């Protein structure tokens, strides 16, 4: 049990952008394509057009492409970013969104820290 707890202690729930409002105060992972940058705020858009504002610590590390952002969901559903990873340009966001929904349907198969 200790090994399992250690392995999942740094895991954060993957959520779709339209689920940010259900996760206020939690650290989550989202994926979207860079739609707009305004200073330190990056707007990510998913495959169905949902948008999330990600507040970066300093200048954004990525100016385009598909990004996974990990951060804390704020009251206004923006994400205060802790880290970000750029995915390949051909990353299938539709498949990702559908996979996230399936992992949420079966949480015992896909445990994450809460």
pLDDT tens digits, one per residue of 34-62: 999 999 999 999 999 999 999 999 889 89
Look up the pTM and report it.
Answer: 0.85
Average pLDDT value over all residues in the chain: 89
* CB burial string 71-106: b at 16+ within 10 A, e below: bbbeeebbbebeebeebeeeeebeebbeebeebeee
Looking at residue 92, the DSSP 8-state letter turns out to be -
Q: Could you give the percent of the chain with pLDDT greater than 90? A: 75
Q: What is the pLDDT of residue 11?
A: 80
Segment 12-24 shows an average pLDDT of: 95
Distances (CA, A) of 18 to 12, 14, 15, 31, 48: 17, 12, 8, 11, 10
* Residue ranges with strand state E in the chain: 13-14, 27-38, 41-45, 51-55, 66-73, 79-87
Looking at residue 99, the DSSP 8-state letter turns out to be H
Q: What is the pLDDT of residue 3?
A: 40
């Amino acid at each position: 049990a200790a090994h399992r707890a250690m392995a999942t202690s740094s895991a954060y729930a993957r959520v779709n952008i339209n689920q940010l409002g259900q996760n206020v105060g939690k650290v989550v992972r989202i994926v979207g394509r860079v739609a707009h940058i305004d200073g330190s705020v990056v707007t990510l858009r998913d495959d169905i057009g949902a948008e999330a504002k990600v507040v970066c610590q300093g200048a954004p590390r990525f100016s385009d492409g598909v990004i996974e952002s990990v951060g804390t969901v704020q009251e206004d559903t923006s994400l205060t970013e802790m880290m970000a990873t750029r995915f390949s340009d051909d990353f299938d966001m539709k498949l990702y969104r559908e996979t996230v929904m399936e992992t949420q349907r079966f949480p015992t198969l896909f445990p994450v820290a809460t």
